[in-house]
Amino acid sequence: MEIFFLVFIFFLIFYVFYIIGSLINYLLKNNIKNIADNVVIGFAGFVIISYHFYFILNLNLFYFLCLLIILIFYYNVKFFKIKNFPLENISKYFFYTFFIFTIFNFPVLFSGEQFYVFRGNQWDSFNYLTSALLFNNYFYSEVLSEKVINLYKDFQSIEDIILYRPYINYFLSLFLNLKFLDIFYINYSFKIFLTIINYFAFVSFLDLFKKINKNIKLFLSLVLTFSFFSIYVFEIDALSQLASISLFLLSIKFTHLLFLSFSKRSHKDIFLLSLLNASLFIIYPEIFIFYYIILFCFFLDQIFFQKKKIILKNYIYFFFFFILLTISSYETNYNFLIIQISQALRSNIDWWGYYGAFLIGRENLVLDLNYINSLDIRISNKGILELLKLFFNDHNERGYNFILLNIIPSFFGLYHLGINKFVSLFSLLNVLLIFFLIIYLLSICVTNFKFLIKRKSKFFIILFFVITQIILFLIYNGNFWTVIKLYSYSFVFIFLFISINLRKQLINKAIIVLLISFPLYKYSSLDYGIGRYDSFPSIIKKTYKSSINWNLDRNKLKECNKAFTLETDYFIRTYILTKLIYYKKNHINFNDKNLIKDDNICEIVIRDNQFKIKN
Percent of the chain scored above 90 by pLDDT? 55
| pLDDT score, position 505 | 92
| pLDDT score, position 264 | 58
| pLDDT score, position 491 | 97
How far apart CA 337 and CA 347 sit, in angstroms, is 18
The overall average pLDDT reported for the chain is 88
Structural domain range at position 592: 554-614
| pLDDT score, position 317 | 87
Confidence of residue 30 (pLDDT cuts 50, 70, 90): confident
Residues 160 and 243 in one domain: yes
Residues 446 and 560 in one domain: no
Residues 361 and 221 in one domain: no
> Is 463 a member of any domain?
yes
- Where residue 27 falls (left for φ over 0; alpha for ψ -120 to 50; beta otherwise) is alpha
Residues 450 and 564 in one domain: no
Residues 372 and 241 in one domain: no
Task: Read off the pLDDT of each residue in 30-45 and give the average, rounded to a whole number.
Answer: 91
Do 20 and 67 contact (CB within 8 A), yes or no? no
Among the three residues 452, 485, 507, which one is the final residue of a domain in this structure?
507
Q: Model confidence over 371-404: pLDDT tens digits? A: 776 766 666 666 667 777 777 888 888 888 888 9
Residues 490 and 570 in one domain: no
Residues 81 and 223 in one domain: yes
Q: Model confidence over 131-178: pLDDT tens digits? A: 999 999 999 999 988 888 888 888 988 888 999 999 999 999 999 999
Q: Is the pLDDT of residue 119 over 90?
A: yes
> Is 513 a member of any domain?
no
> Is 382 a member of any domain?
yes
How far apart CA 122 and CA 138 sit, in angstroms, is 24
Residues 216 and 157 in one domain: yes
> Is 282 a member of any domain?
no
> Is 20 a member of any domain?
yes
Among the three residues 217, 247, 277, which one is the final residue of a domain in this structure?
247
Residues 224 and 371 in one domain: no
Among the three residues 213, 247, 281, which one is the final residue of a domain in this structure?
247
> Is 233 a member of any domain?
yes
In this predicted model, which residue has the larger pLDDT, 491 or 478? 491
Task: Read off the pLDDT of each residue in 335-356 and give the average, rounded to a whole number.
Answer: 79
pTM of the model: 0.94
Question: Kind and range of the H or E element at 104?
Answer: helix 87-111
Q: Is the pLDDT of residue 308 over 80?
A: no
How far apart CA 277 and CA 283 sit, in angstroms, is 10
Nearest residue to 550 via CA among 522, 585, 578: 578
> Is 185 a member of any domain?
yes
Do 497 and 515 contact (CB within 8 A), yes or no? no
Residues 503 and 570 in one domain: no
Residues 499 and 597 in one domain: no
Residues 560 and 486 in one domain: no
> Is 457 a member of any domain?
yes
Report the number of distinct structural domains present in the chain. Answer: 3
Task: Read off the pLDDT of each residue in 331-358 and give the average, rounded to a whole number.
Answer: 82
Q: How many CB atoms lie within 10 A of CB 459?
A: 18
How far apart CA 400 and CA 308 sit, in angstroms, is 53
